[in-house]
Structure 1
């Protein structure tokens, strides 16, 4: 039985962007002057995103274009939940009665990391804007 499910690039892009904590405005800024938040929103509705644009989006999100094209949230969650079970973690020690269990939720840890990355990205973006502003002032002073 073949899988005829065609990935929806726009929905995949939107979900990946949301998981990574990147705002539409940030994507628009990174794509250039021709872009704004509404244009990014319309892009997220497109079933197919052209390869050249997908490459730019992937660079902004710091993922591969195929990761966006083939993103399947349900499959990703299944992988995470099927990978982490109490019985799957075994320290091996000398005692056969010793069983280790996870005392954290891997999905929560992932979301914490995403939030931390978002904050770092926003700081980096702020510093870049400040640097650009300073360079513009220096260039204007030279004129």
Structure 2
């Protein structure tokens, strides 16, 4: 494993891109530049702020997130927080549904099940009463 120089922006961009599972071609496409330009950028020790902002936006992180990126910190985060084999917690996963809506749905479903159960019990009682009156 190579250690990243604390100030080598290009290597930090490359590692974040790799952690995202993104190829240079995809980053180049999103930035509207060539793959060779991305390669050159990833070899650069520094980058102008406006370009860094663009790259950060495409990678889904902040400019400061790139500047402060540390491989050791990522491994510490993984070691301390990931208990399954899913790295989504690294990238601030946000569910696409509202948990409150799901809770209300579950409540409504339970209510319907309870009403059907009560109706089944009422039907059973009336059937048994019918049997008793026929005897």
If the length of structure 1 is used for normalisation, what is the TM-score?
0.53
Counterpart CA distance in 2 for 1:19 and 1:40 is: 16
Counterpart CA distance in 1 for 2:81 and 2:87 is: 14
Question: CA offsets, 1:5-62, max 9 Å, x none?
Answer: 6321000000000001111111111222xx2111101100111111000000011111
Q: Where does residue 58 of structure 2 map in the other structure?
A: 60
Q: Where does residue 72 of structure 1 map in the other structure?
A: 70
Counterpart CA distance in 2 for 1:79 and 1:62 is: 18
Counterpart CA distance in 2 for 1:83 and 1:19 is: 16
Q: In the alignment, does 2:31 pair up with 1:36? A: no
User: Quick check: which has more Rg, 1 or 2?
Assistant: 2
Q: In the alignment, does 2:23 pair up with 1:23? A: yes
Q: Where does residue 87 of structure 2 map in the other structure?
A: 110
Runs of 4+ displaced beyond 4 Å? none
Counterpart CA distance in 2 for 1:17 and 1:6 is: 17
Bigger helix fraction: 2
CA RMSD of aligned residues (A): 2.4
If the length of structure 2 is used for normalisation, what is the TM-score?
0.56
Q: Where does residue 7 of structure 1 map in the other structure?
A: 7
Question: CA offsets, 1:82-130, max 9 Å, x none?
Answer: 456xxxxxxxxxxxxxxxxxxx53xx2107x98xxxxxxxxxxxxxxxx
Q: Where does residue 51 of structure 1 map in the other structure?
A: 49
